[in-house]
């Protein structure tokens, strides 16, 4: 492909369920323009706000375009030969002690070729991370219920007669779902939104239930209790479940008023919820957000909502279903990286600050790619120190992130539109071809090429399979019927999958049943010392920490409800301090109508380097299942600056 084509089809390889197919054009002056591919069934010609800004990032003046090597306190430019030579020497020295090598692979870039670093470090038998900063608690919960992670094709929302948006912030994190929901509302389909409020869902909502953060399970349980007592759960649905009698006893052991009190919902909210789930002929579709699973009882929250959808007869046929997410690799074969070997040991990612401190033997070499790990894991200050103490750190990134600043070697990578790959989505069943449309700037190189060269430099070399073999294998799956040539030409291919998940209420467990949740864990009461849940939500304009420094001037803004009790002793025209047992940070406070009074809301992704990183306040705690990071269970207080 020419270096500057007038029109090319590419794809976004960033960590987002949209996984957009993109049309890239250049004007007469060579100025690039990007839009959504109108032929793609999910992208439908539209891209999100952060996507529209991608060239700001590709052409950013602070982009790293040459390898950097540490010299004392500074990082100085170096040749690839020197930088990779240093890495190879360090790896060779640890070749007999691979557990001392740690590979931290984030989801900053995705695809089949993107598995190259996993292939190399698994071949060495290096340590790896386990657990997740993202959606794993909910995935594990869905697996416990349904037996695997399946959902209806988003197109099936056309068959829904009602929609429950249970915690998705549609315009901020799920642009394309918001377009579908908008269409459905135009067609008269009512949408109920359930969240702690303060989100951007008003334009997509007919009715709202505002609940206390982290307590979704109690609201779902209150609705189920009504239905169980009324005896109106259809016998075929009960027959398709295991654990019904236990669930029934569990529900009857609670009072409705206690359940509602815990989630701070009113009896009228319960009526609304029952109306949405009960009277639509089983065609209520539930969109699950990932906020509810970023709590200690996160898996349980998801499981109770699943149970409500199931027992109200809204699972297993067109128009119903629970949309949590699917595996982005279910339609492609990208196993080559994982197949290369087994890690010597695994360290738990959400607890990494502690894991690195306690590692025995210690970690002497770290390779980070696709992650700003120091910034994004809980207890970020502690994590930064623990990372600094690891012997030798290599970070592959395009920017001097909080992680890269602490590295001994920084290797500049190509970014989206500059690297080739094939990738799937965790929201829809289309497979996208990401073309290398523009050459990377300066000396920056594709991750795959960096890893291939490093492998070749080792004293006992590790050779990667040829690129084309990896790409061809990626699409050689039972659900795709497309050649690599066709995929390159068209930009995407739609996998052949049933539109309805668990059709006929046949589930993926060995017994074929839906497994009902078997406990309702109490929610710890808020304390006077830390009376607010800290909700660190996505920003509409940026992906996680991938925002420019000049967007982080002054103090970050946090939002509280107008009826938040903290306001009684806070003057919000003056800077305040957000305090947790782990740290504190100066902030500006604004009020946000509709937000729950027990919440303080803040955009995530701010940097340690600018004092905007919320993870300095958040303790390393795991979710009940899936080893996720329970970010949203962190409680804080707001106080006056003295
Ligand atoms: N407080 C708080 N923190 C959170 C969360 C929360 O809810 N609250 N949620 C989290 C969630 S959902 C997630 S997924 C994680 C995200 O955490 P991270 O994955 O660490 O996200 P980013 O900070 O954006 O870092 C990704 C990095 O990948 C780099 N990158 C982009 N493209 C490429 C490429 O092609 N090659 C290479 N080598 N690098 C590339 C980017 O420049 C960026 O620095 O953070 C979590 N952090
Ligand atoms: N613009 C943009 N888009 C993104 C990203 C980004 O950084 N920027 N990141 C991408 C990635 S990796 C991910 S994982 C997704 C994240 O997408 P989401 O998981 O949807 O994002 P969050 O901001 O964590 O949470 C969504 C909503 O959950 C609400 N919430 C918090 N606690 C609770 C609760 O206990 N119950 C209920 N019902 N709701 C609650 C919050 O108020 C918030 O509005 O977005 C993806 N899309
Ligand atoms: Mo995520």
Q: Are 607 and 616 in contact (CB under 8 A)?
A: no
Report pLDDT for 533.
98
Where is pLDDT greater, at 222 or 575?
Answer: 222
Residue ranges around ligand 2 (CB below 6 Å): 15-16, 50, 134-135, 166-169, 172-173, 194-196, 198-199, 213-214, 216, 289-292, 294-295, 535, 537-540, 543-544, 632
Q: Residue with the nearest Cα to atom 31 of ligand 2?
A: 291
- When pLDDT is averaged across residues 112-127 and rounded to a whole number, the result is 98
Q: Among all ligands shown, which has an atom nearest to the Cα of 617?
A: 1
Strand order, beta sheet including 430-434: 421-424, 430-434, 492-494
Strands 514-515 and 241-242, sheet pairing: parallel
Whether residue 5 is predicted with pLDDT greater than 70 in this model: the reply is no
d(CA 102, CA 85): 18
d(CA 467, CA 112): 10
d(CA 484, CA 97): 40
CATH number of 532-640: 2.40.40.20
Q: Which of 291, 294, 303, 614 to mutate to test the pocket of ligand 2 (most atoms within 8 A of CB)?
A: 291
pLDDT in tens, 203-217: 999 999 999 999 999
Residue 468 Cα to ligand 1 midpoint, Å, equals 28
pLDDT in tens, 492-504: 999 999 999 999 9
d(CA 287, CA 162): 11
Report the topology of domain 136-324+501-515: Dimethylsulfoxide Reductase; domain 2 (3.40.228)
Every domain range in the chain assigned CATH 3.40.50.740: 68-133+332-417+439-480
DSSP one-letter string for 552-584: S-SPPEEEE-TT-GGGGG--TTS-EEEEETTEE
Short-list 297, 281, 162, 294, CA closest to 219: 297
What's the Rg (C-alpha) of the chain?
A: 25
Whether residue 45 is predicted with pLDDT greater than 90 in this model: the reply is yes
Residue 296: CB partners within 8 Å, gap ≥ 6?
214, 621, 622, 623, 624, 630, 633
The three-class DSSP label of residue 16 is coil
- When pLDDT is averaged across residues 26-34 and rounded to a whole number, the result is 91
Residue 245 Cα to ligand 3 midpoint, Å, equals 36
d(CA 319, CA 285): 6
E strands of 462-604, at which residues? 492-494, 514-515, 532-537, 557-560, 576-580, 583-591, 599-603
pLDDT class for 4, splitting at 50, 70, 90? Answer: low
d(CA 504, CA 156): 15
Every domain range in the chain assigned CATH 3.40.228.10: 136-324+501-515
Short-list 40, 15, 37, 186, CA closest to 110: 15
Which residues partner with 74 through β-bridges?
A: 71
* Distances from the Cα of 412 to the Cα of 69, 369, 441, angstroms: 11, 11, 9
d(CA 424, CA 523): 37
- When pLDDT is averaged across residues 69-85 and rounded to a whole number, the result is 98
Q: Among all ligands shown, which has an atom nearest to the Cα of 50?
A: 2
Whether residue 40 is predicted with pLDDT greater than 90 in this model: the reply is yes
Q: Among all ligands shown, which has an atom nearest to the Cα of 164?
A: 2
Whether omega before 361 lies within 30 degrees of 0, making that bond cis, reads: yes
Average pLDDT, the chain: 97
Q: Which atom of ligand 1 is nearest to the CA of 135?
A: 12
Q: Are 97 and 125 in contact (CB under 8 A)?
A: no
Q: Among all ligands shown, which has an atom nearest to the Cα of 220?
A: 2
Phi first, then psi: give them for residue 223, nearest 5 degrees: -70, -40
Q: Residue with the nearest Cα to atom 6 of ligand 2?
A: 543
Q: Which atom of ligand 2 is nearest to the CA of 198?
A: 42
Q: Provide, rounded to the nearest whole percent, the portion of the chain with pLDDT above 70.
A: 99
Q: What is the 3-state secondary structure (H, E, C) of 67-98?
A: CEEEECCEEEECCHHHHHHHHHHHHHHCCCCH
pLDDT class for 321, splitting at 50, 70, 90? Answer: very high
Q: Which atom of ligand 2 is nearest to the CA of 543?
A: 7
- Burial grade of 375 (CB within 10 A; 0-12, 13-18, 19 or more): buried
Residue 401 Cα to ligand 3 midpoint, Å, equals 18
Q: Which of 62, 396, 397, 602 to mutate to test the pocket of ligand 1 (most atoms within 8 A of CB)?
A: 397
d(CA 105, CA 139): 19
Give the dihedral of Cα atoms 428, 431, 436, 441; nearest 10 deg.
Answer: 30
Is any atom of ligand 1 closer than 6 Å to the C-beta of 494? no
CATH number of 68-133+332-417+439-480: 3.40.50.740
Residue 375 Cα to ligand 1 midpoint, Å, equals 9
d(CA 383, CA 375): 8
The three-class DSSP label of residue 379 is coil
Q: Are 378 and 350 in contact (CB under 8 A)?
A: yes
- When pLDDT is averaged across residues 99-124 and rounded to a whole number, the result is 97
Report pLDDT for 2.
45
Whether residue 410 is predicted with pLDDT greater than 90 in this model: the reply is yes
Q: Which atom of ligand 2 is nearest to the CA of 107?
A: 12
Whether residue 279 is predicted with pLDDT greater than 90 in this model: the reply is no
Whether residue 142 is predicted with pLDDT greater than 80 in this model: the reply is yes
Phi first, then psi: give them for residue 504, nearest 5 degrees: 70, 20
Whether residue 1 is predicted with pLDDT greater than 60 in this model: the reply is no
Residue 477 Cα to ligand 1 midpoint, Å, equals 29
* Distances from the Cα of 541 to the Cα of 44, 173, 285, 547, angstroms: 20, 10, 28, 8
Residue 134 Cα to ligand 2 midpoint, Å, equals 9
d(CA 308, CA 578): 37
Report pLDDT for 140.
98
DSSP state for residue 501 in the 8-state scheme:
T
d(CA 636, CA 641): 15
DSSP state for residue 163 in the 8-state scheme:
E
């Amino acid at each position: 492909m020419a270096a500057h084509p007038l029109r090319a089809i590419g794809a976004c390889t960033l960590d987002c369920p949209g996984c957009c197919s993109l049309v890239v054009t250049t004007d007469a002056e060579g100025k690039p323009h990007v839009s959504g591919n109108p032929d793609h069934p999910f992208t439908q010609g539209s891209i999100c706000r952060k996507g529209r800004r991608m060239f700001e990032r590709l052409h950013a003046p602070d982009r790293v375009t040459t390898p950097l090597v540490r010299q004392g306190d500074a990082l100085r430019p170096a040749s690839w030969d020197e930088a990779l030579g240093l890495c190879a020497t360090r790896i060779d020295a640890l070749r007999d002690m691979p557990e001392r090598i740690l590979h931290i692979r984030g989801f900053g870039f995705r695809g089949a070729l993107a598995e190259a670093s996993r292939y190399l470090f698994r071949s060495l038998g290096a340590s790896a991370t386990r657990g997740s900063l993202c959606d794993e608690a909910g995935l594990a919960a869905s697996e416990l219920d349904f037996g695997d992670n399946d959902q209806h094709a988003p197109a099936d929302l056309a068959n829904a007669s009602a929609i429950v948006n249970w915690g998705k912030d549609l315009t901020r994190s799920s642009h394309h779902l918001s377009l579908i929901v908008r269409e459905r509302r135009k067609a008269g389909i009512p949408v109920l939104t359930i969240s702690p409020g303060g989100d951007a869902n008003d334009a997509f909502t007919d009715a709202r239930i505002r609940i206390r953060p982290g307590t979704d399970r109690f609201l779902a349980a209150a609705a189920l209790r009504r239905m169980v007592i009324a005896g109106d759960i259809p016998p075929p649905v009960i027959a398709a479940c295991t654990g019904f009698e236990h669930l029934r006893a569990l529900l009857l052991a609670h009072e409705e008023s206690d359940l509602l009190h815990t989630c701070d919902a009113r009896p009228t909210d319960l009526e609304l919820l029952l109306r949405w789930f009960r009277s639509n002929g089983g065609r209520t579709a539930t969109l699950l957000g990932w906020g509810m699973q970023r709590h200690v009882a996160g898996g349980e929250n998801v499981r109770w909502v699943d149970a409500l959808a199931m027992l109200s007869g809204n699972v297993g046929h067109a128009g119903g279903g629970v949309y949590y997410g699917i595996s982005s690799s279910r339609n492609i074969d990208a196993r080559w990286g994982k197949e290369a070997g087994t890690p010597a040991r695994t360290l738990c990612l959400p607890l990494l600050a502690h894991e690195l401190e306690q590692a025995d033997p210690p970690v002497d070499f770290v390779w980070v790619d696709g992650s700003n790990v120091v910034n994004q894991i809980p207890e970020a200050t502690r994590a930064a120190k623990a990372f600094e103490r690891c012997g030798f750190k290599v970070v592959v990134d395009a920017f001097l992130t909080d992680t890269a600043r602490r590295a001994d070697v920084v290797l500049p990578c190509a970014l989206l539109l500059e690297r080739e790959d094939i990738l799937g989505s965790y929201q829809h069943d289309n497979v996208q071809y990401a073309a290398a449309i523009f050459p990377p700037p300066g000396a920056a190189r594709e991750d795959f090429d960096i890893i291939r060269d490093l492998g070749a430099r080792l004293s006992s070399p590790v050779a990667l399979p040829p690129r084309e073999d990896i790409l061809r294998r990626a699409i050689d799956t039972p659900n795709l019927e497309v050649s690599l040539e066709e995929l390159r030409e068209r930009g995407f291919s739609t996998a052949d999958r049933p539109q309805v998940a668990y059709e006929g209420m046949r589930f993926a467990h060995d017994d074929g049943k839906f497994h009902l949740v078997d406990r309702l864990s109490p929610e710890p009461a808020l304390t006077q010392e830390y009376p607010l849940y800290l909700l660190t939500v996505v920003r509409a304009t940026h992906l996680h920490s991938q925002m420019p420094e000049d967007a982080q001037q002054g103090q970050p803004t946090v939002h509280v409800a107008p009826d938040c009790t903290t306001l009684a002793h806070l003057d919000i025209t003056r800077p305040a301090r957000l305090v947790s047992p782990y740290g504190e940070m100066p902030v500006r406070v604004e009020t946000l109508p509709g937000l729950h009074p027990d919440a303080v809301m803040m955009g995530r992704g701010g940097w340690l380097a600018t004092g905007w990183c919320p993870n300095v306040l958040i303790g390393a705690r795991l979710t009940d299942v899936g080893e996720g990071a329970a970010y949203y269970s962190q409680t804080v207080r707001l106080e006056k600056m003295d």
